[in-house]
A and B are shown apart, each in its own frame.
Chain A
Amino acid sequence: MKRWILPYVCAVLAILAVGLPLRTRLDAPRLGAPAIARPGVPFEVEFVTSLPFVPWRWAAEVVERQWGFRLEHGGQRILGHRSHGNRYWITLADATPVEGAYRRPTDGLEHWGEGTLPDRMLLVHAADFPSTGKEAMLERFVDEMAVVKPQAFLASGDLAYDSSETWYRFLLDQFRRLEAMGIPVIACPGNHERGGWARFLNHFGPRTTHRVDLGPFRILSLDSAHGRDRFTPSQFRWFREQLDTRSGRVPLVQLHHPVFPPGEAILGNGEKSGGPLFGFRDGLVKLCLERQVPVVLTGHWHQDAVFDSSGRFRDDTADFPGTKFVVTTALGDALRRVTRWPHRYHGYRLLSFERGQLVRYTQDLPGQPSPTPIASTPSGTWLRESQP
């Protein structure tokens, strides 16, 4: 074994050469996966260091210096810490009371202090964002959110058809504008993010599957674009665990790919819209039914659609029992005709909840019954009208 001493000494030197000076990567909370916690309720900051097994105090100092925030500031205190290899978790809590619904993140740490949320909550869901050349559409959408004032914005993938740094910078600027309005952004990746995967991960961090607890909700964001349109076993196991430990919260799920195929509702070839979710679809549907998930939010088709848990296309009524598997039209990318639903427009979806119960998820369209089934909110609606 003596002959292996030299290689291992060289190995240690090589790892030191790679890792020094010590650097860190903040993994959570990040933009798109914020930590939202009531005053005094603990939340975790997770980061990795360029070298393993360094004392946590040193690692914490480096993460503060590099990311420009203080772990302990104001009423925020470190409650505990743990580490594994080069991964560190520091538990924090902020006892400062929050005036209004939220205290927005003011530094590099995406921690939102949760105040008193109203009984009636509005969430906005969108997917398939506009791309380079259509920046104004996204800016108008953010302007519209200033009128709508939702409690959170859920972005279900295909945020970056253009994976250039310029686009990501613009996208992040718009997300920061939403945050400045007091609207936390909760995002998951779609298949188009895979085109510039490194860039997406750089800006949104490596937790592509994550959980955000917000008021009465547990918002679970899933990454359905593994191998294009499927979950993996480890991800599905995580999903089940999150549903099993939701401590009374109402689970809401977002992922990029529609859960069900258009079935009999398909129109033509679906205009190259790609398929629905493949891997673990039956398991997902069963879990959603058993754990009483009110709504599963998806995009990808660039057209609205709604299915019930049997996979039936529900253009007959907006109100039916069980989980609603919702597809929301494109916020800005090309519109398509995938199903027999006749309406096509750019838009987003407003979800209205009363004390955690889903009461409305469609928008009434002129000349259609009220509530109109399936329909999302056409872009610009609330720029022209008053608050919903």
Chain B
Amino acid sequence: MTATWLLLYIACLVRLLTLYRLDLRQASSFVLMVPILLLPWMDRLCRQLPWLQSKGALRVAGLVALVSALALARILNLGYWETHHLGLAVLAALLGLGLSLVTHAFPRESTGLGLWIWIATWEYAGTWHPVLIPVGAGLSALLGGFGLWPEGRPLVPALHRVNPFWVPFLLGLVLPKPWFDYHLEGTWASVMAAFALTTGLAGLPRMRAYLDRIPNLWVLVPMALAFVVYPSAWYLAWAMVVGLLWGILWPRLPRPLSIARLSLGFLLGALVSFFLHSNLGIPYLRPLLWWGS
């Protein structure tokens, strides 16, 4: 569920917020951020209030997540998100809270191409309208909450280990580039789908047998380079390279996955990426941001 949480909820939320902007003078902005602000305390909360992880609670959480996602998508489908709208912010927050609870109940990450095809399918649905992606997040929460989530074999961790905060930070830095480039065009959603699909392919046993032997540095350096080298016209190739690299890094993250560290690392990376692509005006960095385009 963690991958679903990260790519169908967090990534989608960040993309929408970088597009429509958060106004910190509005209460709705803080409501939107509740699931993220609660992240560092979710583990402790779940331990201290065990009923939160009971079957009934998870079913309610899953149901709330799906209903909120469907309501949000019905309202926003074909439209645009007024981020100061409190009702929409509440729906997005309920979706996040529901999915967060379910994700914390199932921290074990299953293997299998199926999970990544599921994510890629919903990302691709984003080419039709971006708010369809949160529907995928809500539906995943419902399936998880009702015990219908297709569990695969547990992931066999790789020999090499990577930092569970800075590596997602790096992904957060790199992955939003097509969002900033393609703006309102659905192309960014195809990029995300290609990324997810390639991540899944990199997790196939035969691929892993080879890829797991590659030292961390040989993966992290190209990942960092992908932040600078971005051939806009070759977006699918770029997405597949980033997906492959993330597919190599994914099993190297320490298990059990810390959802808070993973999410906050990614969020911080996306935030830094947003500011760097915006108006910081750093003279030498500026020409590098779209190098290759």
- Chain A interface residues (CB < 8 Å from chain B): 1, 3-4, 6-8, 10-11, 14-15, 17-19, 23-25, 48, 50, 52, 85-86, 194-199, 201-202, 206, 208, 223, 226-230, 232-237, 275, 278-280
Judged by a CB distance under 8 angstroms, whether B263 is at the interface is no
B79–A18 contact, CB under 8 A?
Answer: no
* The residue from A18, A196, A233 contacting B77, defined by CB atoms under 8 A apart: A18
Is the pair A14, B286 in contact by a Cβ cutoff of 8 Å? no
Shortest CB distance A122–B (Å): 32
CB of B48 closer than 8 Å to a CB of A = no
- Minimum CB distance partner of A275 in chain B: B281
Chain A, residue nearest B150 (CB): A3
1/0 contact string of B15-41 vs chain A (CB within 8 Å): 000011100000000000000000000
Q: Are B70 and A234 in contact (CB under 8 A)?
A: no
Task: Give B283 Cβ to nearest chain A Cβ, in Å.
Answer: 10
Residue of B nearest to A278 (CB): B286
Interface residues of B (CB under 8 A from A): 19-21, 66, 70, 73-74, 77-83, 114, 117-118, 121-122, 125, 127-129, 131-132, 135-136, 138-140, 142-143, 148-150, 180-187, 230, 232-233, 277-279, 281, 286, 289-290, 293
Identity of the chain B residue whose Cβ is nearest the Cβ of A196 in the assembled complex:
B82
Complex contact A208–B78 (CB within 8 A): no
Contacts of B121 in A (CB 8 A): 8, 11
Pairs across A and B, CB under 8 Å, 14 listed = A3-B150, A7-B118, A7-B140, A14-B135, A17-B74, A25-B78, A50-B78, A86-B128, A198-B82, A206-B184, A208-B184, A227-B277, A232-B290, A279-B290
Q: Can you list the 10 inter-chain pairs with the closest CB atoms, starting with the nearest? A: A233-B293, A233-B232, A198-B80, A3-B150, A227-B278, A228-B279, A25-B78, A18-B73, A198-B82, A86-B128
How far, in whole Å, are A58 and B89 apart by their CA atoms in the complex? Answer: 34
Chain A: minimal CB distance from B242 (Å): 16
**Given A232-B290, A234-B182, A14 and B74 contact (CB-CB distance below 8 Å):** no
B19 touches A15 (CB 8 A): no
Residues of A within 8 A of B139 (CB): 7, 10-11, 14
Determine how close the nearest CB of chain A comes to the CB of B125; give it in whole angstroms: 7
Measured in the bound complex, the distance between the Cα atoms of B115 and A7 in whole Å is: 11
Chain A residues within an 8 Å CB radius of B77: 18-19, 23, 50
Chain B residues with CB below 8 A from A17, complex form: 70, 74
CA distance A3 to B114 in the complex (A): 9
| 8 extra interface residue pairs, beta carbon distance < 8 Å, beyond A6-B148, A15-B135, A234-B183 | A4-B118, A6-B150, A14-B135, A197-B80, A232-B290, A236-B293, A237-B293, A275-B279
Contact present for B73 and A201 (CB under 8 Å): no
* Nearest CB on A from B38, distance (A): 26
Q: Is the CB of A197 within 8 A of B20?
A: yes
- In the bound complex, how far is the Cα of B277 from the Cα of A228, in angstroms? 10
| Identity of the chain A residue whose Cβ is nearest the Cβ of B293 in the assembled complex | A233
CB-nearest residue of chain B relative to A209? B183
The residues of A that contact B127 with a CB separation of less than 8 Å are 85
Q: How far is the CA of A189 from the CA of B107 in the complex (A)?
A: 44
Interface centre among B78, B79, B232, B278 (most CB of A within 10 A): B78
Contacts of A208 in B (CB 8 A): 183-184
Residues of B within 8 A of A279 (CB): 286, 289-290
Which residue of A has the minimal Cβ distance to B233?
Answer: A237
Task: Please state if A4 and B70 are interface contacts (CB–CB under 8 Å).
Answer: no
Residue of B whose beta carbon sits closest to that of A198: B80
A198 touches B81 (CB 8 A): yes
The residue in chain A whose Cβ has the minimal distance to the Cβ of B128 is: A86
Chain B residues near A50: list those with CB within 8 A: 77-78, 129
- B128:A232 contact, CB within 8 angstroms: no
Docked Cα-Cα span, A15 to B80, in Å, equals: 18
Q: Which residue of B lies closest to A232 (CB)?
A: B181
Most B C-beta atoms less than 10 A away, residue of A8, A196, A227, A228: A227
Assembly CA distance A223 to B232 (angstroms): 17
The CA of A232 and the CA of B82, in the complex, are separated in Å by: 23
Partner of A227, one of B20, B125, B185, B279: B279
CA gap between A387 and B144 in the complex, in Å:
71
Question: Quick one: which of B21, B77, B148, B185 has the most chain A CB within 10 A?
Answer: B77
